[in-house]
Amino acid sequence: MPASLEPLVEERPVPGFAGRIARALGGLLRQTRRDGFAVAGISIYLVFFLVALLADVIATHDPMEILFLPTGRVAANRPPSLDYLLGTTNLGRDIFSQLIHGTRSALLVGVSAAFVVATLGTVVGLISGYFGGRIDMVLMRIAEIALSLPFLPFVIVLAGFLGASVTNVVLAVALLLWPNAARVIRSQVLSLRERAYVEAARVTGAGTWRVMFVHVAPNILPLSFLYGSIAIGWAILTEASVSFLGFGSSTTVSWGYMLQDAFASQALSRGRFNWFVPPGICIVLIVVAGFFISRGYEQVFFPKLRG
């Protein structure tokens, strides 16, 4: 081919699905480094994840073990000391060890619920926004019904019927939180499906599901990540509330279980702040971390706020 007819710009291969996912995640990481709120929120999550992974190493005792003094008496209501960093409960259990192992239970609930919420919300939002019509109407009516249900009473009723377990808390949170993600993702897909690159994919023979999940889905991943991070805090707060009200699992140590145990033992009236303040602070930090991440990424979705 003559040199004058050769293309002036080198053609680059169109990135595949993995490449689009990597590019979307790379954009999230770049935004994280630029915003202090996002850095703070993710840093809090990372600290709790490390504590959960190393819980067996960090904890000084078994969280459900009844401890005894050298004299043979139960080590009940002991103040903080080198042997019991946060003291003991009225049954002689180490509060610090319960706090550490409660991190593992909290993150198990939070991450599981976040994954289900992000996945379900993303799939429903994609299908609803891309197809439109009756499919969109039916899915959005279901979402409106889910949004109309009172959150905590629904979780309590579900736990009462199905039993107190981590799985049922995750199920309840997922059933009520996915519409928030689905509605926002749907509105974004309504815009993305009209873009030129989507039309080009259709013209080249790409199927409907390939266009949705290969060409459109990577562009709404930041929204999925955002609502997933928010769902972590909501799920942990819900589990703590349910456990505090007595509808949680009695065999699993969690922050809500600690608060319920402290309340039943009248820890506040006896000035046992070392019992109920630490789990309360942990719950607040987890919820605030989700807010920080959402605050940090709002500039991605609303560029006018950057000024």
Rounded average pLDDT per 10-residue block, the chain, 307 residues: 42 50 56 69 90 92 89 88 90 92 89 89 91 90 90 83 79 86 89 83 81 84 82 85 79 86 87 91 89 71 53
| Per-residue pLDDT tens over the stretch 17-30 | 555 555 555 555 56
Please check whether residue 138 lies inside any domain of the structure.
yes
Q: Domain for residue 24, yes or no?
A: no
- Does 70 reside within a domain? no
Q: How many residues does the chain have?
A: 307
Give me the phi and psi of 3, to 5 degrees please: -60, -30
Whether residue 244 lies inside any domain: the answer is yes
The predicted-structure confidence for 220-247, as pLDDT tens digits, reads as follows 887 888 888 888 888 888 888 888 887 7
The CATH number covering residue 178 comes to 1.10.3720.10
7 inside domain: no
Cβ atoms of 301 and 222 within 8 Å: the answer is yes
Number of domains forming the structure of the chain: 1
The answer to whether residue 94 is domain-embedded is yes
Q: Which helix (H) or strand (E) holds 300?
A: helix 273-301
Is 153 part of any domain? Answer: yes
In this structure, are residues 101 and 91 in contact, taking their beta carbons and an 8 Å threshold? no
For 130, the domain range is 41-60+85-306
Q: Is residue 80 part of a domain?
A: no
The whole-angstrom separation of Cα 116 and Cα 88 is 36
The pLDDT, as a whole number, for residue 14 is 43
Q: What is the DSSP letter of 248?
A: S
Model pLDDT, residue 19: 58
The pLDDT of residue 166: 77
Does the model's pTM come out above 0.85? no
Q: What is the pLDDT of residue 227?
A: 84
- Per-residue b or e along 113-151, where b marks 16 or more CB atoms closer than 10 Å to that residue's CB: bbebbbebbbbbbbbbbbeeeeebeebbeebeebeeeee
